[in-house]
Amino acid sequence: MIEDRDITFEGKVFTWSHDPDVESPPHSWTWMDANTYMTPAEGLAERLTRAFIDHCAADVVADLEETENVRFCQILEAMGATDDEIRTFGLNDALIALHPEKTPSRFVTNMPPAAHGPLNSVEVHDWFFGSNNDDSDPPTTVGCLGYGPFQTDNFSALLKRKGIACCNLNETTEVLVLGRKGWANDEIDQLIDMRVGKFLRIYSQEMFLAFLGTRSDPFRASCDVLEAFKAGHAGLEFVSEGWQGWVTLYVSPARRTTPSQRINSNEYPPESPLSVLGYHVGQKGEVTTTRRRILRQAFTGQLPLVASAEYMAQWDEPDTPGRLKKIADNIATYCRHNKSRIALKQAVEDWESDLAWMHDKFYHGRFRFQWPNTFV
C-alpha cells in the first residue's frame, strides 16, 4: 500500500495522502497542512510536490510492494517527475511497462566505458560465472560513501529492498561500500584509522552487488579477482595505496606508520592470525558455531597480515593443504602445551573438538599430510 507521508517545508508540516480508490493518478493524491487541516494554496502545493519528488519519492519506492510500482510510477508522472528521475528511483521496469517505447537505449550512453567494467576482466568473469557460491551472508548494515556507477539514492534504495541498511560512517562501521566519485581522501582515512586493530571491508558498488548476486564474498576470492575489481576504481586504488593489506581485511596498527616495527619482523607476532580473526576457546571464548565459522574463514579466505611476509608465507594460500596443516598444527600445539593445566580444561576440550571437526570437514578424503595429534 502506498502510505501517506509527512514533509516539513518552510517550517511547517504537510501531509501527502494517496487514495487508492481513485483511478486517475492526477486526482489520487492531495496535500494538507498537518496543523490546520487545510489544503495549501496552488503555488505552495506545486513547491511541495517538487520537494516530495526530490526528498521523499525514493523512500516511498523502497517501501513499495512490487505490484505497486506501476501505480506509483503513474503518480510520479502526474506530479511532474522526469523519466530520468523515475529511473533513478528504481522504477525503470514500471516506466517501460507503461510506455514500451521508452527503452533503456537512451541512457546506456551515460555508462562508463566497457574497459572500466570489472566484468571486462577475465579473472572477475571466471569468478562471477563460476561455481563459486560459498553461502556467505551479506552484512545487514553497511556504510556508503560516494556514488558511481549508481546514484547514491538509487543504490541506497536497492540495498533497503534487500534488507540492508545504509548508515553513517563511525567507529563501529565494519563494511564500507565505496563509489567511484563523491568521496574525500580524509573521509576514507578517518574510517580506516578508526578501525585500527579491527576488521574493515571496503567494497566498490560493483563488488558489493556481485556479492549479493552470487552469494559469494569477493574477499574470499583470489587476489587477482580483487585486483581486477580495483583496476580503474579511484576509491579502491586510493585505499590500497595507504593500506597495503586491504585485501586481508585487518587494519594493522602499523598502517601508514613504521612497518619495520611489526610487518618486517621475522619474529612470531604477539597474536596469531587465528586470534586476530577472533578465534578464542574456553570459558570466556566463543561458542562452537562462532569458532567454526572463524576456522572456515581462516582456511578458505584471506588472513590478516600480522607479521612479515616470510611469516605469513608459512600459512600458505587459502584452501590448500599447507593452510589447513598450519591451522591444525597451531591448535594441536596449544592443546599439547596446556593439557596439564586444570584451569584450561574447557579450552583443551574446545581445541580437541575443533580439531576433530576440521579433520572431518576439510581433511578426510581430500589431503594426505599427517594430521597432528594432541598427545603429550
pLDDT at 202: 94
pLDDT at 268: 54
pLDDT at 261: 37
Percent of the chain with pLDDT over 90: 31
C-alpha distance from residue 32 to each of 4, 229, 230, 249 (Å): 11, 49, 50, 51
Contacts of 34 (CB under 8 A, 6+ apart): 6, 12, 13, 14, 15
For residue 235, give the 3-state DSSP assignment: helix
pLDDT at 348: 93
| Residue with grid cell 489544503, as numbered in its chain | 39
pLDDT at 299: 93
For 47-103, the pLDDT digits (tens) are: 999 999 998 998 898 888 888 899 999 999 999 999 888 888 888 888 888 887 665
**Cα three-residue angle 250-217-157, rounded to 5 degrees:** 105
Of the ranges 67-71, 226-230, 272-276, 355-359, the best mean pLDDT one: 355-359
Contacts of 374 (CB under 8 A, 6+ apart): 332, 335, 336, 339, 348, 351, 352, 355
For 256-266, the pLDDT digits (tens) are: 433 333 344 44
For the entire predicted model, the pTM comes to 0.46
Chain centroid to Cα 54, Å, comes to 27
Counting DSSP H helices and E strands in the chain, the numbers are 17, 7
Strand order from edge to edge, sheet including 201-204: 165-167, 141-145, 175-178, 201-204
The domain covering 114-257 belongs, at the CATH homologous superfamily level, to BRCT domain (3.40.50.10190)
Contacts of 344 (CB under 8 A, 6+ apart): 282, 338
Contacts of 169 (CB under 8 A, 6+ apart): 143, 145, 176, 187, 190, 191
Q: Is 116 left (phi over 0), alpha (psi -120 to 50) or beta?
A: alpha
**In which band, very low, low, confident or very high, does the pLDDT at 31 lie, cut at 50, 70 and 90?**
very high
Average pLDDT over residues 270-285: 85
For 210-220, the pLDDT digits (tens) are: 999 888 888 88
> Is the per-residue pLDDT at 267 higher than 60?
no
Q: How far apart are CA 196 and CA 267, in angstroms?
A: 21
Q: Mapped to the 3 state alphabet, what secondary structure does 11-39 carry?
A: CEEEEEEECCCCCCHHHCEEEEECCCCCC
Percent of the chain with pLDDT over 70: 88
> Is the per-residue pLDDT at 225 higher than 80?
yes
Contacts of 270 (CB under 8 A, 6+ apart): none
pLDDT at 376: 64
pLDDT at 253: 59
For residue 272, give the 3-state DSSP assignment: coil
Give the domain ranges of the chain. 5-108, 114-257, 273-363
Q: How far apart are CA 235 and CA 146, in angstroms?
A: 9
Helix 122-129 / helix 223-230 crossing angle, nearest 10 deg: 120
pLDDT at 108: 42
Of the ranges 83-92, 155-164, 180-189, 356-365, the best mean pLDDT one: 356-365
pLDDT at 363: 94
**In which band, very low, low, confident or very high, does the pLDDT at 106 lie, cut at 50, 70 and 90?**
very low
The runs of H, that is alpha helices, within 31-104 are: 42-55, 57-63, 69-79, 83-88, 92-98
pLDDT at 265: 41
Q: Is the peptide bond before 20 cis (omega within 30 degrees of 0)?
A: no
